[in-house]
Structure 1
Amino acid sequence: MTKSFDPGPLAPEGPFMSGAAAAPDIDVLEIADGLFRSYAAELNRLREKIEAGETGELKESARLVRDLRAATQMVLEERSKVDKLRKDAAGQVGAGALDLVAARDEIGRRLACLRRAGGG
């Protein structure tokens, strides 16, 4: 018995599609770098005000920097989770594969070092 499946002209949808093709390629590290630069500028402005004796905005500025840092951390953690899920969905390919030849060579090298050191 022969069965055939025609998926149709449209791309399949569902939990097994990454959705990466539809999403714009955004460099999260660039965004995080920009945010951290703005944190540094805000902290520098805050330091200058403290040195000048102005402490009125101290609490508000510190809270703002803390909130921005927490938001950036959440974005980076979520990106890491998404990357891990994509990697798991794709399977273990590429650099994650076990290189048995390299492992055997490394074991042989270490055994040779032990033989030389132990005299046996």
Structure 2
Amino acid sequence: MTTVNRDGADSVEMLELAEGMYRDVADELQLAMENLRAGDLAEAKTARAAMRDLRAAMQLVLEERTRVDKLRQDAIGAVDGRRLDFAAARSEIGRRLACLRDAGAG
């Protein structure tokens, strides 16, 4: 199940987009680091910018992953990380109703 978040974008698609951005920035950072090692000091500014972008992309990935996990838990009816047992709940409700009927009849 996919759910639309408040921005109107599909959460799973947002997660995939964020992961793609993360990979792109990581590649850019790796290239800048290789150029720095080769002695190209002009790449230092690019490397800093790539690291900042990488941090932002990683934060976005983590936030979207959290949203997707919550949506999955909501979809299966989980509460506090546990699934709800609707059959047991139905049985308990029936048992309590029977107790009320018995108490009212006497």
> What is the TM-score with the length of structure 2 in the denominator?
0.47
Higher helix share: 2
